[in-house]
Each structure stands twice: as structure tokens, then as C-alpha cells.
A and B are shown apart, each in its own frame.
Chain A
Amino acid sequence: MGLFIAQLLTGLANAATLFLVASGLSLIFGVTRIVNFAHGSFYMLGAFAGYSLMQVLPGAIGFWASVLLSGLIVGVIGVIVEILVLRPVYKAPELFQLVATFGVILVIQDLALMIWGAEDLLGPRAPGLKGVVRIMGEPVPKYDLALIAITPFVLFGLWYLITRTRVGVLVRAATQDREMVAALGVNQSWLFTGVFFLGAALAGLGGAIQLPKGGADLLMDFNILAAIFVVVVIGGMGSLPGAYIAAVLISVLNVFGVSYLPQSTLVLMFVVMAVVLTIRPYGLLGREEVVGEHGQVGEPERPIKPAGTKARLLVGALLIALLALPAVGSHFLVILATDIIIFCLFAASLHFLLGLGGLVSFGHAAYFGGGAYVAGLLVTHAHAPMELAFLLAPVGAGLAAVIVGWLCLRLTGVYFAMLTLALAQLLWSLVFQWDEFTGGDDGLVDIWPASWLSESNSYFYFTVIVGVGGIILLRHIAHSPFGYALRASRDSQRQAEATGINTKRVQWMAFTLAGALAGVSGALFVFSKGSVFPNELEIAKSFDALIVVFLGGVKTLSGGVVGAASLELVKDYLTRFEYWRLTLGLLIIVVVILAPHGIVGSLRKLYDKVFGSNDDPDSTGLNTPGTTQSRDMPGGVSGGGVS
């Protein structure tokens, strides 16, 4: 019994940090609709700032002052990020901002390395709270009790702010319809900035307050990211009490998991999430989201046309250039081109889902890595020949996509995105920890191609045929009745259903197809590298694909491919430099600001500007109600809200 209570208390204490950071994320998402990938970075900065302050400020007062100051400092950093990076892109298509926040992650990683160095910093202990209290004979650290006591006050304070004050009313109103709030005389941009300050400050506070239980290191940002996404989704997006309950639930279950299922670490959290979302798709306290066309808000995509003669010639010329590469280019250029084509196919498969289907998957790496692992496992355990493994890889990845798609497509918008992320993480943690079968972190090695492909040049040709073939296949499908049905389901699910289209089935099939093709790219990958490791299933890999699709241009068919090729080339160049993450991060932010329609989209706009376009300039279509989706969802996409 004593142990039970002690474990419960440990769980509650662990929930404190998780809640602080997650509530900030939830708040920012609720109001600005921005999925702030950089939230983990704010948390990390809070820890580093707190550490430095605690070196200077002595005693108990100094300690707590440092915690508060860290929150303040990180809040101010959040404000700077909001003003410099996000404000210029608020008008960009929905979710484009998340690319900018990814740039922020890279910048902060390198800045933190420059300022605080590479070594892990062990957090100072809280003065006056170093010891333990015996509760029913079990030792409970005093600091744990302090954390348990503080959190409800923070929760209450936030709840009061949001539900009982004028600022809170304005924030909630802005969550729903920013423009209307402005039209009623409220300076909503400062309201946003304020919310960003508060959200970032909470993350910073979370970072500082965990110092006595941990420390500050450069891996903190990504380490907490999945956990806080899970908390926010389980609690219900935008719900603060929900975030608290979810943080407690996850933390307490985790503590018991550690004792009774010691190998369950990592997996448990995602299993809890899957269970909760199966029963309550919008989280414990979340409300059903108004169906919004994510990724497609703003200017609608232009009608697509079969490629013209010029475009065909251009693609043909590119293909010939590719095929001639081994003859004229260096060996390394061939290797680089192989990598780029593989990544392009991966990005194109996500683009198919995201651009044409409006289905934003945050966990697309699951199928890339999935395909690679299916092939790798077949070779390793069944000694399958390369050809068979290669054929079965997309089948395996497609099967995974069938299951994940079925679970996720019951949700829409950001809930859909978050659930794809969580399920991808579940797959990752399985692969990572089930090492008897998957090799765990040591991965699967010696997965080399069959002898007829073992030469880099022949493998390159193989990659060109399969990779470019896959991309062309996706393009053809985009022009097929099925591709049209997919776009119709995205443009107006209501109309599509009312004209006999089973939109869920269409989306499910698209999800499966995209998964299978990602699996093909994964298979190409594994045989080109000869090995596969769990990091090919990681969040960062999924983010890579997301970023290139957005950077390339969601609303253009070639966006994914162009984005992927550009980023791979830039990365190949930049990674030779010491602070390449800083540079790449800034580069991403610059592109996001200057080309809010993605590279292809913005180039096309520029082209139109210079050479004119076919659109009827006298059209008055946009002047009227109902022509845009805005009446469906005033002020962009609504959902959850802050409560």
C-alpha cells in the first residue's frame, strides 16, 4: 500500500512538467491553429536558461526566481519567434506555418549548442527541498511534493484566465474567428503574440522546473515532443483540464508500467493513446472538430491539366539527363542522385495524400521505414531473395497503411494528423524495442541487392526505373477518375457524398496507395544502403517529408518532387559546415516567408505576374459568399477551442 501511494505520487510529480509544456502547446494550437513543432525547443531553452540563472542566483529564493525568470525569458523568445517568423506567414495556407516552426527547431538547436556547449548539464537541486518525506514508510522526495502542489495552481490560474477574464474571452473568440475579433476593435495580432508568450513561457517554466529531477541537454527538444503531442491529443486539443488529466494519466500509468511491465516503456504511452482515441476520437475533454479542409484553406488549387508537349519534353530531357548521369557524372553524383530519387518518391507519396487528398499525415515515415523493414526482415529471417523482398515491401507497408488508415480516417484535420503521428511512433517503438526480431537499435544489416544490381550504376538505373516510375504512376493516378474522386472528397466531402462517392473509402484507398509507394521507396532505400535502422521510422523522418512537400508546394502536382530534390541537394551541401542546422533552419524560414505557396507555387505566381495568366481578371467570383469554404468555417479551421 505504501509503495502504491509512493508510486502514485511519483506519477503525479512527473505529470507536472508534462502538463506545463503540453498546456502551452495546447494553448498555442487552440488560438493560433499553429502546430508548434518548436515547442520542445522552448522547453529545452527553459531548462538551459534555468540552469544558467541558478548558477547566479543563490538560495531558495534564487531558485524559484530562476524558474520564473526562465519562463519569462522563454516567453520573450516565443514572442520574438512569433513576430519574426510566424507573423509574416499567418496568411499562408493552413499548416504551412509548421514548416517555419521546424526551421526554428534547427536554429535553436545550434544556438543552444553555441551558448551552452555540448555537455549534458545536471540540474541543480532545489534548496530546502533536497530530502525525502516518509509516507507510510516509503521515501518521497520533497521536491516531488512541491511539484504535485504547484501544478493544480497553474491549472487553476490558466483556467481562470481563459474562462473568467476578458482576455480569456477574447482569446477564445480569436480561436474561432480572428478576423471578426479584429473587426470588433481588438488588436488580435497582439492577442496572438500574447498567447504565444504564455504558451512559450509555460514550456520554459516546464523546462526550468524539471531541473532538480533532471537537467538540460540538447536532445530534450525532440525527446518531449511526442509525449506532449500525445498528452494534448488524449486530453483533447485546446482543453487545459484535458491536458492535465492526460498528463496525470500518462505519467501515473508509466510509473506502474515501469514496475510491472518494465519493457513497456515507450510503447505504453502510445497504446494508451490508441485506446483513448478509439473510445473517444476527440480526446477525453475535446470536442468534435468542425470538418475542415486542412492543407487546403486559402486560395483553392488550380485545375490540373494533362502535361502539355513542352512539359513532356522537359521531363523527357530530364530523364535522359538522369540516364546519362553514370556516364558523365562522378560515382558520388550517382549515389547522391539515387538518394534523391528515393526521397522524391517518398515525398511524392506523401504529397499525393496531403496535396490531392487533403490528408495531412504526420507519420508517413512509418511506411517508408515499414517498407524498408519488411524487406530487411525478409532477407534477414527468411533469407528471401532481394527480388521477392522488394516486391513484398510495398505489400507490407500497404497493409500497415490499411490498418492505420482505418483507425485515423475516423478523425479529421489535426486530430487525424496527430493520430497518424502517434501510430507511427507506436510502430517505431515496437521496432526499437523488439530487438530479438527487428535488431532494435542495431538495426538490420547486410541487406544488399542481388548480384545483378550490386554495381552502384546498375542500382542507380533500377532506382530511376522504379522511383521515377512510381512518381509518374502517382501523377497518372492524379489525373484518373480515382484521383479526381480523391480531390472531390477533399474539396467538398458533402457534395461528394451527395453524388455517390464513398469519400472515406476513396481516402482509405489513397492512404493505402501512398503507404505502399512509400514502402517502395523504403525498399529502394534499404537495398541502396545495405541496412536499415529505427531512425527511418522516426518523427524526424516524417517531418522531413512534410517539410519538403510544403516547401515544394502543396497545391501543385510537382511540389513534393521539387521540394524533395531541393532539400536533399541543399542538405548535402550544408552538412559539410559546422553550424549547418542553423543555416538550414534560417534557410527554411526565409523560403517560408518569401515563398508562402511553396517553391513551385510561388514560381508559378511569379511567372503569372511577369507573363500574365489565363485567369479572367474581371472575375468577381471571390466577391460573393459561398464561393469559398469560409462560411463553413469562419476564420479558418475551428476545432477544440480553448477551455
Chain B
Amino acid sequence: MRQWVMFVLELTGVNSFYGKAHILRDLGFSIQAGEVVSLLGRNGAGKTTTVKSIMQLVSPASGEVTFDGQSLTHLPTHRVAKLGIGYVPEERRIFTDLTISENLEVGRQPPRDGVFEWTQDIVFELFPNLAERRNNRGKALSGGEQQMLSIARTLMGNPRLLLLDEPSEGIAPVIVEQMAQTILKLKSEGLPVLLSEQNLHFAKIVSDRAIIIEGGLKKYDGAFAELESQPEIRDAYLSV
């Protein structure tokens, strides 16, 4: 059924700034097809900036971001999205004045070769509680539902890669668990995901690999399982 052609996201030597603040320092990593990767680190470590630098919402001062071999650097954000990178921002940023259906319509993009084509019906299958409220305005939704809608809206763009920025933030544990199931389902169907997270428990459930950044520098890049055997890294940067 759903199938994703293999694409690779690659960051090399990315430096990003916010005003004068140097946020990302020579950051480099890649995401292979079918992988769910967690981007971990303290608040202010540069996780969100990494995601925004991929989307070109923050324009990296140097370095390169490529997707499927094509450079994304300095492309307008909408072109990045058109290439198949789906972005779910941390604030969810749903259109509260629009209905759920209309929110999904904004995300809709034409079908993409070799990529599963999402429709509203299929999205509603994945998020049944959105289906029954499809004509409600976004502002009537609870935080968990807004998060679901934000993901669903991005899926409507038939992404080849999903960027999730702190999806579990401020969401009830029971909903976070549901979301984990959703992500695992997408993963099982081959959609690669880059997940910026603070919730280690959640990240561990859904992802294979962890990248830890601190002060904009990469401190760790490897399998989640191996992190367990490196307590000094885990304690120094994540400290649970």
C-alpha cells in the first residue's frame, strides 16, 4: 500500500545565527530513508533552529542542507516544502479561524511521483477524532487535537520526510502515547521522520537513532540503544 521512495536529508557544516547569536555550529548529520531520528538536547541547544534551518525559515550563514541531492540552502521556504519536506512546528500553528477541513486543504499539495498520496479521508482514518469535527473551527480543538491536526495537515502535502518539532510538548501522556503509535505506523510504512524532542521516554519509543546537540554542536550521533551504554553522554546532555 503506502510507499515512499528513498530520499536522504543531509546537513553539512551548517552554521546558523539568530541576530548576533551563533546558534548552530558546523552541524552535520544525515537521515536515511525509513528512519526515525530523534534530535535531543537542552532547551536552547539549537534543536528548533536545526529544524528551521532545514526549512530555510532560518537561513544558514554557511554550510549546506541537501535533500535527495538537491541543495535547499537559500531556497524560499515554500520551495523546500514543495520538494516534499513536511514541517510540523512546535507551536502547532494551526489556522484557528479555519475549519479542520480547510486546515487540511491548506496543506494539500499535488501528488508526487512515487510517494503515497494522502487525501482527507485517509488522513481522517489515521486521526479518527478529527473526522467527526471536520467542520469545526481550529480554535475549538484541544491542545492534543491541535497537534494531531498539525501533523495531519502536513501529511496532506504528501511529504517524503517529516520534521516534527517537540510534538509531545504540553500534551497529556495518554495522547503522547497515541502519537507514538501514529509515528510508528508512519515509520513502518517507510516515512522518514526527524523528531526534535525533550521527552526521552517518548523519543525512545519511536526512534532508532538519537542525535544530541548542545550549544549548537553535535555531541552524539548513534543508535538509541547504545546511548544506554554511554551514561556520561546521557547524563551530561540529557540528565534524567
Contacts and interface: CB of A to CB of B under 8 A. Distances in A.
Interface of A: 166, 169-170, 172-173, 175-177, 179-189, 299, 613, 615, 617-625, 630-631, 634-635, 638, 641, 643
Nearest to B103: A173
A622 B157 CA distance: 29
22 contacts: A173-B95, A173-B106, A179-B77, A180-B93, A182-B77, A184-B87, A185-B78, A186-B78, A187-B76, A189-B76, A620-B21, A620-B44, A620-B215, A621-B21, A622-B18, A622-B21, A623-B48, A623-B49, A624-B44, A625-B48, A641-B97, A643-B97
Interface in B33-90: 43-44, 46, 48-49, 55, 57, 76-78, 81-82, 87, 89-90
Between B76, B81, B91, B95, the greatest number of chain A beta carbons within 10 A of the residue's beta carbon is seen for B95
B93 A185 contact: no
Given A179-B57, A623-B21, A172 B97 contact: yes
Given A177-B95, A625-B90, 11 more contacts: A176-B97, A183-B55, A183-B57, A183-B81, A186-B106, A187-B76, A618-B21, A622-B18, A622-B21, A625-B48, A630-B91
A109 to B, nearest CB: 35
B123 to A, nearest CB: 14
Interface string B158-197: 0000000000000000000000000000000000000000
B105 interface: yes
B31 interface: no
A166 B102 CA distance: 9
B154 interface: yes
B45 to A, nearest CB: 8
Nearest to B16: A623
B22 interface: yes
A610 to B, nearest CB: 14
B96 A624 contact: no
Contacts of A620: 18, 21, 23, 44, 46, 215
Contact of A623 (B23, B57, B77): B23
A189 B77 CA distance: 11
Contact of A617 (B22, B81, B95, B154): B22
Nearest to A615: B20
A225 to B, nearest CB: 28
Contacts of B153: 184
Contacts of B48: 623-625
Contact of A622 (B19, B55, B93, B95): B19
B143 interface: no
B152 to A, nearest CB: 12
B97 A624 contact: no
Between A180, A625, A643, the greatest number of chain B beta carbons within 10 A of the residue's beta carbon is seen for A180
Between B55, B97, B98, the greatest number of chain A beta carbons within 10 A of the residue's beta carbon is seen for B97
Given A624-B44, A625-B48, A641-B97, A617 B157 contact: no
B157 A184 contact: yes
A185 B21 contact: no
Contacts of B87: 183-184
Contacts of B107: 184-185
B109 interface: yes
A62 to B, nearest CB: 41
A613 B105 CA distance: 46
A623 B103 CA distance: 27
A187 B57 CA distance: 13
A129 to B, nearest CB: 41
A164 to B, nearest CB: 11
Contacts of A183: 55, 57, 77-78, 81, 87, 89
Contacts of B95: 172-173, 176-177, 180
Contacts of B82: 185
Given A170-B106, A623-B46, A177 B93 contact: yes
Contacts of A173: 95, 98, 102-103, 106
Contacts of B23: 620, 623
Contact of A187 (B20, B78, B96): B78
A331 B105 CA distance: 68
Contacts of B98: 169, 172-173, 176
Contact of B154 (A170, A184, A621, A641): A184
